[in-house]
Amino acid sequence: AQPVLAVVGRPNVGKSTLVNRILGRREAVVQDVPGVTRDRVAYDAFWAGRRFTLVDTGGWEPDATGLQASVAAQAEMAMRTADAVLLVVDATVGATTTDEAVARVLRRSKKPVLLAANKVDDDRLLADTASLWSLGLGEPHPVSALHGRSSGDLLDSIMAAL
């Protein structure tokens, strides 16, 4: 079976946009309407001559347990079912307490975890991404899912981890 990469993170950080960027197409998966994105959607992806399965863990709407608990539960699920996990954070916001809670869960992972600092649409935001080292998940990979900036570099790192 091909390796599985799960994409996790808070709502609105750009997970689905990044997934579409990686897939090289614009699908109607990105939804601004809360609750519209289905819970987990798996896609067949391809990079550098290798196939892998890309899982977009959308629909992390805060349930009765609250946002932090529901996002942490998704991270646990990703760690169990995927071969590697990509945590996406919004570089324009920085690390929130929810990001920190998810990172705490992911730091226990025996599987590779990568960190994408999304929405780095221009160079002025690059300096801010350094603060994301504090999440304890290694090097933050700056990307702009919207514009495609550095997504190739991120994919190279992902393939090296898978």
Dist CA 13 CA 19 (whole Å): 12
The residue nearest ligand GDP at its CB is 14
Q: Binding ligand GDP by CB under 6 A: which of 3, 12, 41, 77?
A: 12
Q: Are 72 and 79 in contact (CB under 8 A)?
A: no
**Is position 144 an interface residue for ligand GDP (rule: CB under 6 A)?**
yes
Burial class (CB in 10 A: 0-12, 13-18, 19+), 105: buried
Q: Binding ligand GDP by CB under 6 A: which of 1, 28, 32, 124?
A: 32
**109 labelled binding-site residue:** no
Dist CA 105 CA 141 (whole Å): 19
Dist CA 131 CA 94 (whole Å): 8
Q: Which does 32 bind (CB under 5 to 8 A by kind): ligand GDP, Mg ion, none?
A: ligand GDP
Q: List binding-site positions.
A: 9-16, 56-60, 118-121
Residues that bind ligand GDP (CB under 6 A): 9, 11-17, 30, 32, 58, 118-119, 121, 144-146
- Binding-site entries for GTP: 9-16, 56-60, 118-121
